[in-house]
Amino acid sequence: MDRSTDTALGSSLPAADVAGAYDRAGALLTVDLDAIRANYRLLRAQAGGALVAGIMKADAYGLGMARIAPVLAAEGCRVFFTAHLDEAIRLRPMIPADRAIYVLHGPMPGTADDFVAHGIAPVLNDAGQAREWIAAGRRLGRRLPAAIQVDTGMSRMGMSPADLEALGAPAAWLREIAPAFLMSHLACADEAVHPMNAAQLARFEALRARFPGLPCSLANSSGVFLGSAFHYDIVRPGAALYGINPHPGSINPMRAVAALQARIVQVRDVEDGAIVGYGARFTADGPRRIATIAVGYADGWLRALTNRGHAFVDGVRVPVAGTVSMDSITLDVSAIPRERIAPGLAVELLGPHQHVDEVAAQAGTIGYEVLTRLGSRFHRVYANA
């Protein structure tokens, strides 16, 4: 690839650098910011009048919060979520000061001052976190903003019946903070017919009656597609923004966001019976051509794809041959004309022929895990900035 890639990235390489940044990396990860804009708009249309928040945890599902958060803010996104306080502190200067940031894990003991100093609010997940936040407010002499999460059946985070009982009447303790909204999280939203959805909705309805006047939030990406009963005032999509199918089994309405091209390091012709890779897990069943690409499990290309995954060359599917190594993968490219295959050539790992959800299915996992593991060694380009 020529040096215009660097120009597109806005980086200024010293003149002595002869190779472009992509030439020095093993793979090129392209994040399509226009696809993120389109996905945000589609979610907004789908969510009726509900406010569409943006989930930024894990560096925007591995795709780069610093570039994605400002794009969503420009689209009108007013509420952002991270998992950790550190992520929220990093996010704060990336978006306008009038946009709210909530930390899903809530205030760990002793962190209240950091929240306040950076203009970040927690989600309060149990009685202990609520007391921590109330105490901080008393100490600082003002009601501090927070969201309140109730558990409606997932038993992961959010106030249990015991927490709510311990805190007493909401009308009393809510006066001690500045409550922004009430939220809960769905365990099975990606399975539209799962009985958990209706059960959690009913439980949320019962609980929110105890918090009259508070805006409500229940739906993640898949929840947005469960119908208007699940929308309430704020929806919280993450995965769908980044192109993951919010309703597996049906046609994906979201645009793909990530494309990954890996470079060929070496090409060799092997004889019938040749062993390929660690553990001798692949044996050539005839003369084969093997191309080694510069991506491995250290880059998030899961080792579970050993002898299972695929790449694409000129749109032709080429299987992984043998074990996925830390820094490289061997592909059986026998189907590709020899003159097309050479060191430096880019092969498609994610792109028009292979979606992140398909890679995940082959690896026995979900698209979320594939995206969030995509490695830090790739050369990254943000298209349509």
Ligand X SMILES: *Cc1c(COP(=O)(O)O)cnc(C)c1O
Q: What amino acid positions are annotated as catalytic residues? A: 57, 278
Report the greatest alpha carbon distance in the chain.
78
Which of helix, strand or coil describes residue 183?
strand
| Residue 82 engages ligand X in binding (rule: CB under 6 A) | no
Cβ atoms 345, 330 nearer than 8 A:
no
Cβ atoms 79, 72 nearer than 8 A:
no
Question: Judged by CB under 6 A, which stretch of 11-19, 25-33, 231-239, 313-321 contacts ligand X?
Answer: 231-239
| Residue 200 engages ligand X in binding (rule: CB under 6 A) | no
Question: Judged by CB under 6 A, which stretch of 238-246, 277-285, 322-330, 354-362 contacts ligand X?
Answer: 238-246
Nearest distance from residue 191's CB to ligand X, in Å? 12
| Residue 238 engages ligand X in binding (rule: CB under 6 A) | yes
Task: Measure the CA–CA gap between 223 and 214, rounded to whole angstroms.
Answer: 20
| Count of residues in contact with ligand X, rule CB under 6 A | 11
Write the binding mask 302 to 341 for ligand X: x where contact by CB under 6 A, - elsewhere: ----------------------------------------
* Phi, psi of 27, rounded to the nearest 5 degrees: -155, 160
Q: Site residues for ligand X, window 34-73 (CB under 6 A)?
A: 55, 57
Cβ atoms 164, 132 nearer than 8 A:
no
Position among 239, 347, 356, 374 found at the interface with ligand X (CB under 6 A):
239
Task: Measure the CA–CA gap between 47 and 155, rounded to whole angstroms.
Answer: 26
| Residue 20 engages ligand X in binding (rule: CB under 6 A) | no
Question: Judged by CB under 6 A, which stretch of 17-25, 203-211, 237-245, 377-385 contacts ligand X?
Answer: 237-245
| Residue 243 engages ligand X in binding (rule: CB under 6 A) | no
Closest CA to 305 of 280, 335, 331, 266: 331
Which of helix, strand or coil describes residue 215?
coil
Position among 92, 99, 185, 380 found at the interface with ligand X (CB under 6 A):
185
Task: Measure the CA–CA gap between 190 and 175, rounded to whole angstroms.
Answer: 36
39 or 330: whose CB is closer to ligand X? Answer: 39
- Taking residue 189's Cβ as centre, other Cβ atoms within 10 Å add up to 23
Position among 220, 292, 306, 330 found at the interface with ligand X (CB under 6 A):
220
